Amino acid sequence: MSQFDTATLAGGCFWCTEAVFDRLKGVTKVVPGYAASKVENPSYEQVCSGRTGAAEAIQITYDPSVISFETLLDIFWHLHDPTTLNRQGNDIGTQYRSAIFYQTDEQKHLALASKEALEQSGTYKKPIVTEIVPFTNFYPAEAYHEDYYDRNPYQPYCQFVIDPKVRKLLKEYRKEVKASML
């Protein structure tokens, strides 16, 4: 029986990140929610106020014998712009910050190493502002946020913001995508 691990990542709108990571082989569950909140069990409205300290994030349960944390990080770095502070596209505020909430020393080491390698690669011209911080808490988002992209494929945000990210994943990470998604 496989041992599952958990990764908690924030890269802007959790609808976008959930839609991408949910399509990966070895990922058994992706939950959209709020990480690093100063308020217990915050609502979407509270998080949008910017006063909770929470980031829109996803919590990924995965089988490391199928997909590595390093691969999850590689996809994370290319899924959003890690050089914009507290913003992804038109989504602005601290709740949309880029962050890796590590849960073990190994995750911390791998996250720092992957960030350094990305900076050295020259992929981005501006400095990477992604926070790499200890995991403190995660609260699942309201039920209507779950599987948002799959339940609302014709909603304009899904078509113009999320769909290009999913198509990019399918093209660039084809071998990591679940066969049912191809």
Please state, as a whole number, how many other Cβ atoms lie within 10 Å of the Cβ of residue 151.
10
Catalytic, 13? Answer yes
Separate counts of helices (H) and strands (E) for the chain: 7, 8
Catalytic residue among 13, 16, 48, 158: 13
Please state, as a whole number, how many other Cβ atoms lie within 10 Å of the Cβ of residue 79.
23
Burial zone of 7 (CB within 10 Å; 0-12 exposed, 13-18 middle, 19+ buried)? buried
Contact (CB, 8 A) for 16 and 165: yes
Where in the sequence numbering do the catalytic residues fall?
A: 13
